[in-house]
Structure 1
């Protein structure tokens, strides 16, 4: 497919802005940095338990409701910039609260600001796919998304390595400095993304009158879209399993970030090229690979000696993050390639809102199963992944090689 006007110019800015956003995602992280800070500040565990649901579901649940307003805005670039600014301000607020608050006061402040950050991410998520679809031709989108992940990964590796040098308990002042750095990264990302030369359609796209009935109609009547949502929900195996893997073999904060960053670097570009050829295959085989890795790690923790598991578990943690990176690139490429115009906007928003609900349910179920230990929860998630790989065969092929 021929390149679009200004495609190389826009691609560089898309990569730069999303790479900077990735830095913020990994530093102001609900799974690692924030619970660590709440713990050492004496905040009740209740607040740490709320972080992941607020961050993940909070960025997904509002999207269907936002769709009518988003569709009425001719420029989607402006929406992304607004979302990035919101995230930057919220991150700076979190950093300030960590400096001046303790205990429950800090807990309430962090979860509130994290909710605001998640809302900003919802704006970016719903707008990003449209901007990419308008400015990047099919056959290059996966590589652009993967390269953006890789750029963010390089920075995260550097941060993770630095934290490892500081030991298992890095100073709060250093982490707060990183949070402020992330806030600046989000603001810079907004400035860069705002320079994208987005082609504006002459005709006004038709916004749905009722987002709830529109969501229900899409899920009931659009078989291709419904299959994608079902398969994507089963891909949560790679998103939910790291928490339970950490319970099997706790690691330092720096090691978590280092593994995540390396996975972004290695997996982003490779998965991007693969996704441009077949984003369906990336999702399908990613689910299968995640399940195999989880089953292997469960068996290792049960039957192998600790002297072996001290090496096996970190490698497995890295492998899951690598697979998760590939799955993220694959599903993002798939939904952008699946439709055009306002239909793509509706697909992205409804799928993400549905995923917000499903994430809460899957998290609650796996958390309940974890009452019998992390092994039980991991076996449940591995079963989800195997079913996802099986149902992934029913996905239509929507991506094409360049």
Structure 2
């Protein structure tokens, strides 16, 4: 009993107490037990993500292994779209699972094994063959991540009351950020010439974060469901189209989320502009990881609490700040004043990364708060599948504009972000305590 009371005290140090809402989900001890395990498991997963990162660590690994540049360009599309596109098709299978925690555990275990296979590949293979094997492992990793993405929102909705979900997401983000800063500092201390052995060791350590997360997640007190999908043919495609066509509020959320890609897609352009300026500030791998980690630490708790009050307004404000930051950086780049461009790019990279933390926490909180039960699972799956398609489209357009230079691509993303702020602001309010 004392251990249970201790978990409640720890939970309420991290998350604002709400006895009435907690009573509806089995009481403070049950909510605290589930909430703390969700925080720890998500923090472990996010820590692993900082290492198995298609924007930083994996491209660095490819360069060390001598992989062709064309294969490097496949990393981000496979990682991002691969974890989103299949979710609508996987929905019927997930709905049949009586315990959604087990779906998350399966996805996490597969991600851990995929990361472990990347580490082994780095030690045993080189060149294009190593790259192909890593890409295959990343494909499996992304598909497994789709299961975790779908199940985690449902488990959180069943075990954490509205008004605390944003804080749970924010605390997990902040914890992973602290670990990421430590990893980044260690990478920076090892120097710019990181060998294959060091990178393989980090990938192996990342694999452990998912495997430990499986053990943590197994203890979440989740009531089994009856299973939501009947056997037989699953018309997931027609159901997806119907949901987007008939559910106006959900359709507007998907549109808003697509327009908020400015905070996700702008930072890599800042990096390439900084490198073109001859700056060494952002060249080191450790510096990238440190910047992401600091953004998570600073933004996680703050944006989590704000999202519990109004997740739609956090999305809107984040889009405005990101877009204006991008436009100001573009202005400095166009002025080309010596001594100003590189500091502006570095500051812009951090600010947009920080805002991206808020946008991610807010949109996760919004989709969990806007529905209940199996409908929440369908919302998450359809939204992510639609985003997988839209990410490819927006990414392709911005990449096409980038052939004329980074500035046109950044301007397009900033304009889309301002439109996304307007759409987010007009979304119905779903967060906040009833």
TM-score range normalised by the length of the shorter chain: over 0.9
Take 1:220 and 1:35, find their aligned partners in 2: how far apart are those partners?
39
Structure-to-structure mapping, 1:368-383, within 5 angstroms: 368-383=400-415
Other-structure match for 2:272: 247
Take 2:353 and 2:192, find their aligned partners in 1: how far apart are those partners?
21
Other-structure match for 1:198: 222
Instruction: Give unpaired runs (5+ residues) of structure 1.
Output: none
1:2 to 2:26 alignment: no
Q: Secondary structure at the match of 2:340?
A: helix
Alignment counterpart, residue 14 of structure 1, candidates 19, 22, 38: 38
Runs of 4+ in 1 over 6 A off after TM superposition: none
Q: Secondary structure at the match of 2:339?
A: helix
Select between 142-151 and 386-395 the one with higher mean Cα deviation: 386-395
Other-structure match for 1:260: 292
Query: How far has the Cα of 1:390 moved from its partner?
Result: 1.4
Deviations 1:358-381 (A, max 9, x none): 001111100000010111111111
Other-structure match for 2:376: 344
* Structure 1 residues 306 and 159: CA distance shift in structure 2, 3 A: farther
CA contact (8 A) 1:59 1:122 kept: yes
Other-structure match for 1:33: 57
Take 1:195 and 1:179, find their aligned partners in 2: how far apart are those partners?
26
Q: Secondary structure at the match of 1:372?
A: coil
Take 1:81 and 1:164, find their aligned partners in 2: how far apart are those partners?
33
Query: How far has the Cα of 1:206 moved from its partner?
Result: 4.4
The structure whose Rg is larger is 2
Take 2:60 and 2:417, find their aligned partners in 1: how far apart are those partners?
29
Select between 208-217 and 81-90 the one with higher mean Cα deviation: 208-217
Take 1:204 and 1:365, find their aligned partners in 2: how far apart are those partners?
41
Instruction: Give unpaired runs (5+ residues) of structure 2.
Output: 1-19, 276-281
Structure-to-structure mapping, 1:131-150, within 5 angstroms: 131-150=155-174
Structure-to-structure mapping, 1:357-368, within 5 angstroms: 357-368=389-400
Deviations 1:84-122 (A, max 9, x none): 000000000001111111111011011100000001100
CA RMSD of aligned residues (A): 1.3
Take 2:61 and 2:333, find their aligned partners in 1: how far apart are those partners?
29
Structure-to-structure mapping, 1:252-401, within 5 angstroms: 252-401=284-433
Query: How far has the Cα of 1:304 moved from its partner?
Result: 4.3
CA contact (8 A) 2:65 2:196 kept: no
Other-structure match for 2:69: 45
Alignment counterpart, residue 172 of structure 1, candidates 175, 185, 196: 196
Query: How far has the Cα of 1:200 moved from its partner?
Result: 2.1
Deviations 1:190-221 (A, max 9, x none): 111111111223x4434693100100000000
CA contact (8 A) 1:206 1:342 kept: no
Q: TM-score, with normalisation over the residues of structure 2?
A: 0.90
Take 1:124 and 1:306, find their aligned partners in 2: how far apart are those partners?
47
Other-structure match for 2:184: 160
Q: Secondary structure at the match of 2:161?
A: coil
Deviations 1:141-163 (A, max 9, x none): 00000101111111100011111
Query: How far has the Cα of 1:300 moved from its partner?
Result: 1.5
Deviations 1:308-330 (A, max 9, x none): 33322222111111111000000
